[in-house]
Structure 1
Amino acid sequence: MTDSSTNLSYDVRLYKIDEYVGKRKTTYRVRWSVSGKVFPKTYGTKKLAESFLSKLTTAAREGVPFDVRSGLPLPMAKRLTRRSWFQHACEYVDMKWPHISPGHRRGISETLTQATLVLLTGDRGKPDEALIRRALHSWAFSKTARDGKDVETTTPPDEFASAIRWLKDNTVDMSDFEDAVVTRRVLDALSIRQDGKAAAASTIARRRATLHGVLQYGVELKTFAANPIDTISWTSPKHDDEVDRRVVVNPTQARTLLAVVRQIYPSLEAYYGCMYFAALRPAEARHLAEQHLTLPDEGWGEMLLVGSTQQTGQTWSDTGAVREDRPLKHRSVKSTRTVPICPELVALIKRHLVEFGTGPGGRLFVTRTGPFGRVPLKAYCNPVHPNTSTRFWDKAREKALSREQYASPLARRPYDLRHACVSLWLNSGVPATQVAEWAGHSVNVLLKVYASCIDGQDEAAKRRIELALDTPTDPGPPRPERGWNGRETCPKISLKHGENRV
């Protein structure tokens, strides 16, 4: 009998040992079949051949299933194909690396590092946990740091050599994930931050998805028959993808903030303006160049987005540079996106070009102040660093908002300006399909993320329901009675005894 889903079989036949007498030496061949497929194994001595045949015989008598692919009893097949977690995790990183963004690479490394720390098997000679964490995150789980080579053929830096050598021999076998206790232990560890507090619901969901992908890769390699995560009832905390409407600024607040930015760091005014008036992501604004703009003297303009500039860090980029130009989010390499520019933003960008000009490649938003406050040469003006835009945005909020507003989530991040723009478009009655095209979303994601930011729909919906039910809002005075001929009749007056009609 053969189980096709697990490649295990109990249909086993054993044959006698074949003796082959050669000119130089005599060899002994053990033959057996599993599900009709014959497997041979040759030994140099008869005792070794008999010992191996004895193991096969014992396994068959005890009802142990045989692996159809290797022909060995299941316990022997597992030992033969042993695959450690550390080896599997490194190979998964190498498989995913060319197809994902630098930020995604960093997220996978963080998740695998956290998981590895709870999958260690011994304490003898164990390096310090902080060293293990650095070795995993900064080298083992970064293909760029390994110069594109696999872990087995690359010599790690001296700082990490002892930790990597110890990790190769001291992580659990992948087959251990068939025990639900091991899988659950990893999931529980991924829901905790390094300081011991619970991680955010979105972080837990992202980490669980990464672990699921790692184990699914094991299914592809035939390490598992099914993904171990799917066999346990572990539910990650619910998280809400909707934008918190408290972060959304109104036009008056947005213009006040931009005016303050002009006072404290004027070269960033148009940078934030592109997020509020055109719904650009920060990385898209950093990639924006003068040749991508159409700025008429009057009316609306247009910008053509062709990519984004990601601040990645050397460890996660393909080139080892700290930043990297990449395609638009969730789009192919050649994809572009056209976004309209309102007259107010047209004037803002024109003023920016007159006062500050452009950087290398015609980029609009680059560093304007170098070390010691000196203006760097144009060739050395790099795209605005995210830390710079975040720092000056916080200063603008502190100066422009009240104490209560500053302590609130209102426009806490520059990215919240994009949320405000998309919300404004939707509330202005622009069709969701058009907003999705301008913002670089799918319609489904757009309505899911911005559902709580769409105002003014409740009253209109109530009026439509009233019309459907034909329910009068004000019944008014009672209508006069009419006789058989359709004319209004006089109201009936009841007279008491002794009274006359006037």
Structure 2
Amino acid sequence: MALAPRRSADRPDKPWQPGRFQVSGPYRRTRDVWTTNARTGERVRKPRTTFDVRYRVDGHAFRYGHEQKGWADDFAYRLKAGFAAGWLFDPQSRQFLDPDAARVEEPKLTFFEHAREYLHRKWPGWEPATRRNAQRDLARACLELLHEDAPALSPRERRISDEFLRRVALMWPPADDTTEDDQRWESWFLRWSLPLIDVTDQHLQDFMTAVRSTALDGSPRVLSSASATRTRAVVKGAFTSALKRRLIEWDPWLGVEAEPRRDGDQVDPDLVMSPTEVRHVAALCGEVDQRYDAFVRIQGFCRLRPGEAIAVRR
């Protein structure tokens, strides 16, 4: 006969040594999560599959979900081994506590910490343009690779946090003039950034979907294939470095689909100004000399290089 679960009020809140243990699963479970449609940029609900391990410890029911079946099988095996070894069970982490590991366990390295350290090591060898691209793309990755229960940031907070990442965290040499707000953002990312070893191919797939279809503030956009490929290469470089240094055992990018091919004439919003932006720059140049206004407009609207535009002036 199956053990009836006790009321949650009876569940201990501190580790104890159980006398009874049952485990079953993993069970495949599909739940809906919010994601961004790559084509339309709209927020839609999308099914996501997890594999749940269900178990009872002295009659108390627990469940632990994993994104891959192999991880769930390994977790169930470790639960059985922990009970057989007589280890204490921690109701907060929902796992058996290895007494030896508990003495030496250190906090997991977060993606935020690794991205910062990776940029600091690579910075001296990068060209200025590469540095700017790396700051932008790694900052966006830090904002996307977060725990599921991380507090949602408003568009304004996302812009402020992005500015902190580029000016303070992802800068070499490190900034000296940090403020209290900078320290608060530092603590926020240390708290909510995903551990590097916990980042999966699904996390990275969702990251690329967000990059292609939404701007930093969440507004819809369609990013060119070239820009998406560049972002992918920058963030993938951080994981390749982690794999070489044995910080991770497997590169999750191996499970991420390749970038879809798009029309060659598609505008890259990171590299090409909009008509409004061209007019704004032309007006600023026109304040110096009215001829510069026309010169900039000719380049912008006729798609001419500076040398070609000079030839037109002649």
What TM-score, normalized by structure 1, do the two folds share?
A: 0.33
Instruction: Establish whether residue 138 from structure 1 lines up as the match of residue 167 from structure 2.
Output: yes
Cα distance in 2, alignment partners of residues 56 and 397 from structure 1 = 68
Contact 2:229–2:259, Cα closer than 8 Å, also in 1: no
Rg larger in structure: 1
Residue equivalent to 1:183: 204
CA distance in 1, matches of 2:222, 2:241: 28
Partner of 1:320: none
Contact between 1:393 and 1:414, CA under 8 Å: does it hold in 2? no
* Secondary structure in structure 1 of the residue aligned to 2:247: coil
> Does 1:408 find its partner at 2:307?
no
Match of 1:396 in 2: 295
8 Å CA contact retained: 1:204, 1:236: no
Aligned pair in 2 of structure 1 residues 76, 200: CA closer, same or farther (>3 Å)?
Answer: farther
Distance 1:182 1:123, change over 3 A: closer
Gaps of 5+ in 1: 1-54, 63-71, 148-154, 242-371, 374-387, 421-502
CA-based RMSD = 4.3
Displacement of 1:159 after TM fit? 3.6
Determine the structure 2 residue equivalent to 1:244.
Answer: none
* 1:111/1:406 CA distance change after superposition, 3 Å: closer
The one-letter amino acid paired with 1:218 is: A
Can you list the C-alpha shifts for 1:397-416, whole angstroms capped at 9, x where unaligned?
65xx6xxx97432x1x4276
Cross-structure match for 1:18 = none
2:191 alignment partner AA? D
Q: 1:92 aligns with which of 108, 111, 118?
A: 118
Show the counterpart of 2:26: none
Structure 1 residue 171: deviation in Å?
A: 0.5
Q: Give the number of the structure with larger relative contact order, counting CA–CA contacts within 8 Å between residues 6 or more apart.
A: 2
Choose the corresponding residue for 1:199, options 218, 223, 230.
223
Measure, in 1, the Cα distance between the counterparts of 2:152 and 2:228.
32
Q: How does 1:272-291 map to 2 (within 5 A)?
A: none
Structure 1 residue 162 and structure 2 residue 54: aligned?
Answer: no
Q: Is the 8 A contact 2:225 2:259 kept in 1?
A: no
**How far does the alpha carbon of each residue in 1:158-197 deviate from its partner, in whole angstroms, 9 at most, with x for none?**
34221112111111111222x3221211121222433320
Counterpart in the other structure of 2:261: 237
Distance 1:130 1:80 in 2: 32
Higher normalized strand content (fraction of residues): 2
Amino acid at match of 1:212: K
Is the 1:135–1:163 contact (alpha carbons within 8 Å) kept by the matching residues of 2?
Answer: yes
CA distance in 2, matches of 1:134, 1:406: 29
Q: Where does residue 135 of structure 2 map in the other structure?
A: 109
Aligned counterparts of 2:209 and 2:105: Cα–Cα separation in 1: 28
Instruction: Tell me the amino acid that sits aligned with residue 295 of structure 2.
Output: A
User: C-alpha separation between the residues in 2 aligned to 1:212 and 1:392?
Assistant: 45
Q: Is the 8 A contact 1:115 1:189 kept in 2?
A: no
| 3-state SS of paired residue (2:144) | coil
Residue deviations 1:375-395, cap 9 Å, x none? xxxxxxxxxxxxx9xx96652
Partner secondary structure for residue 199 of structure 1: coil
Look up the equivalent residue of 2:198 and give its one-letter code.
D
* Alignment-mate amino acid for residue 408 of structure 1: C
Query: Following TM superposition, by how much is the alpha carbon of 1:144 offset from its aligned partner in structure 2, in angstroms?
Result: 3.2
The answer on whether the counterparts of 2:224 and 2:262 sit within 8 Å (CA) in structure 1 is no
Q: Give % identity.
A: 18
CA distance in 2 between counterparts of 1:165 and 1:209 reads 28
Code of the residue aligned with 1:94 in structure 2: it is H
Taking the aligned partners of 2:150 and 2:300, their CA distance within structure 1 comes to 49
Residue 81 of structure 2 aligns to a residue in which SS?
Answer: helix
**One-letter code of the match for 1:134?**
E
Maintained 8 Å contact 1:139/1:145: yes
Q: Distance in 1 between matches of 2:135 and 2:202?
A: 23
Aligned to 2:81: 58
Distance in 2 between residues matched to 1:158 and 1:61, nearest whole Å: 49
In structure 2, do the counterparts of structure 1 residues 59 and 162 end up closer, same or farther at CA, with 3 Å as the change threshold?
same
Aligned: 1:119 with 2:119: no
Distance 1:61 1:139, change over 3 A: same
Task: Give per-residue Cα distances to partners, 1:261-289, cap 9 Å, x unaligned.
Answer: xxxxxxxxxxxxxxxxxxxxxxxxxxxxx
Residue 196 of structure 2: aligned partner: 174
Q: Within 2, Cα distance between the matches of 1:135 and 1:232?
A: 29
Between 156-165 and 96-105, the greater mean CA deviation after superposition: 156-165
Cα distance change, pair 415–58 in 1 and its aligned pair in 2 (3 A): farther
Q: CA deviation at 1:238?
A: 4.8
Give the CA deviation at 1:129.
2.4
1:216 alignment counterpart: 240
Question: How big is the shift at 1:76?
Answer: 7.9
* Deviation at residue 93 of structure 1 after TM alignment: 0.8
The letter for the 1-side match of 2:221 is K
Q: Secondary structure at the match of 1:117?
A: helix
1:209 Cα offset (Å) = 0.6
